[in-house]
Structures are given as C-alpha cells and as structure tokens.
Amino acid sequence: MIWGAFILASVCWAITFGWTGGNFWVKIGLSVITVSLYSLFWQRPKISFHLRSFVIGFLSAALLYFIFFLGDKLAPHLLPGAKAQVGGIYALGVGTNKVLIFLLLFFITGPGEEIFWRGFLQERLMTRWGNIAGYLITTAVYAGVHVFSGNLLLILAALVAGAFWGLLYFWKRNLLIQITSHSFWSAVIFAVAPIQ
C-alpha cells in the first residue's frame, strides 16, 4: 500500500505538470482528490477539532509564509534566474479566477494533501520505519513528485514546505493543525498575497 501511494502520487503529479491541456489548478485538485481517496480507502483520518489546534495551524502558516518571504529575498543571490522561476510558478495561475484558486486550495488541495502526505503516508512510514526515517522519506517523496514541474525553485519550495509540515506532524501528529496550516498558507500565497 505504501509503494502504491508512491506510484500513484508520482503518476498524478506527472500528469498535472506534464499534460499541457486543462487548467493547472483543477488538475492539481483532481490529483489531490485521487491520492486522498486512495489513503481513505486504507484508513480513516484522525481529526480532532480543538480551537488550540486551529490557532497553532494558523500561526504555523504565518511562519511558513514569512520563511518564503525571506527566501524570495535571498533566492536571487543564491540561484541564477530565481525570479524567472518564481514567475513560472505563478504563471500556472494566469487566466484563472483568484477566487476559484483560493477555494480549490483552501477546501480541496490543502486538506487533501495533508490527509494523504502526512496523515496517511508519513504516519504509515513513521510507524513502520521509525519517526525520523518516516519524516525524511515523506519529505523527499513530496519534493520528488514536484520534479515533474521542471522548475528547480518549485522543487526547492516543495522541499522546504514538505519539511516544515512534516516536522509539524512529527511534533504534534494533529491533522487539524496540518490542514489549517497548509490550507491558509497555500490559499494566501497563491491567491491573496503572492510573493514575487
């Protein structure tokens, strides 16, 4: 089931980035729904609703946004052509209504990715191979599926975000924190206050 998750995620992200037809945000949403359904087939996510979890998730989203804000300032000094690559990431949303992007990211992609990547895959790997190995493997695979974008900065961004959310799950093992963090961060950075 773990190898199936690796393969399915790779195929979904390859299609999302590799197939030029269709709307990118709809494609990534459908990919996330697909991998989420796979994880739901094997296990029901454990989500407890507490205000404290929501607050931690919101604050962690703000912290990750700040990390990316700093990264945007440093990237041009460290990576040649960084600005163009950032522009390439945001170009994926050109022609798509910002409200639609926000809704897809907040209600589908953010929750779905955390249910699959952290709540299912990282949880299973941590249980099977230990906390550190599970965290590192999940982070590597999460960044790895973004290689299909052909955008080095997007791969690095996925590595940073995946490491951040993975560490958060390692620490709290609380899916509400994860979902809140991912949903707010992605919706804001792509649809409300882009960093570029």
Mind listing the pLDDT tens digit for each residue in 171-180? 999 999 999 9
pLDDT at residue number 152: 87
pLDDT at residue number 1: 85
Q: How far apart (Å, rounded) are the C-alpha atoms in residues 71 and 123?
A: 29
Q: How far apart (Å, rounded) are the C-alpha atoms in residues 48 and 66?
A: 27
> Which residues have CB under 8 Å from 130's CB, separation 6+?
none
**Above 90 in pLDDT, residue 183?**
yes
pLDDT at residue number 83: 63
- pLDDT band for 41, please (50, 70, 90 cuts): very high
Q: How far apart (Å, rounded) are the C-alpha atoms in residues 18 and 53?
A: 36
Beta carbons within 10 angstroms of residue 123's beta carbon: 20
Give the pLDDT mean for 89-99.
Answer: 79
* Location of structure tokens 């949903």: 183
- pLDDT band for 16, please (50, 70, 90 cuts): very high
Domain ranges of the chain: 2-192
pLDDT at residue number 84: 63
Question: pLDDT, tens digit, for every residue of 45-88?
Answer: 888 889 999 999 999 999 999 999 998 888 777 777 656 665 66
> Which residues have CB under 8 Å from 93's CB, separation 6+?
24, 25, 101, 190, 191
Tokens encoding 88: 């390439």
Q: How far apart (Å, rounded) are the C-alpha atoms in residues 140 and 66?
A: 22
Report the chain's mean pLDDT, rounded to a whole number: 92
Q: How far apart (Å, rounded) are the C-alpha atoms in residues 78 and 96?
A: 31
Q: pTM for this one?
A: 0.93
- pLDDT band for 91, please (50, 70, 90 cuts): confident
pLDDT at residue number 82: 57
Q: Which of 109, 111, 107, 106 is nearest to 175 (CA)?
A: 111
pLDDT at residue number 167: 98
Question: pLDDT, tens digit, for every residue of 18-34?
Answer: 888 888 999 999 999 99
